[in-house]
Amino acid sequence: MQMRRDIVRMVHAVNSGHPGGSLGCVEFFVALYGHILKHTPKAFTMDGMGEDLFFLSNGHISPVFYSVLARYGYFEVHELNSFRKLNSRLQGHPTTHDRLPGVRIASGSLGQGLSVAIGAAQAKTLNQDPHLVYSLHGDGELQEGQIWEAVMYAAAKGIDNLIATIDYNGRQIDGNVATVLDLGNLKTKFEAFGWTTLINENGNDLKAVIETLKLAKSFAHKGRPVVIIMHTEMGMGVDFMMGTHKWHGSAPNDEQLQRALSQLSETLGDF
For other proteins, which is the closer residue by CB, 141 or 233? 141
**Residue 230, CA atoms < 13 Å, CB-side half-sphere:** 33
Does 40 participate in binding other proteins (rule CB under 8 A)? no
Does 129 participate in binding other proteins (rule CB under 8 A)? yes
Q: What is d(CA 196, CA 221) in angstroms, rounded to the nearest whole number?
A: 11
Closest distance to other proteins from the beta carbon of 64 (Å): 20
**Strands, DSSP E only, in 76-200?**
133-138, 162-168, 171-172, 175-176, 196-200
Does 142 participate in binding other proteins (rule CB under 8 A)? no
Does 67 participate in binding other proteins (rule CB under 8 A)? no
Closest distance to other proteins from the beta carbon of 46 (Å): 6
Q: Enumerate residues 6+ apart whose C-beta is below 8 A from 96.
A: 46, 103, 104, 105, 106
Candidates 17, 48, 102, 225: give the one binding other proteins (CB under 8 A).
Answer: 48
Does 143 participate in binding other proteins (rule CB under 8 A)? no
3-state secondary structure of 229: strand
Does 31 participate in binding other proteins (rule CB under 8 A)? no
Q: What is d(CA 135, CA 11) in angstroms, rounded to the nearest whole number?
A: 24
For other proteins, which is the closer residue by CB, 129 or 139? 129
Query: Do residues 244 and 21 lie in contact, with contact meaning Cβ atoms separated by under 8 Å?
Result: no
Does 116 participate in binding other proteins (rule CB under 8 A)? yes
Footprint of other proteins (CB under 8 A): 46-49, 53, 55, 95-97, 104-109, 111-124, 126-127, 129, 145-146, 149-150, 152-153, 156-157
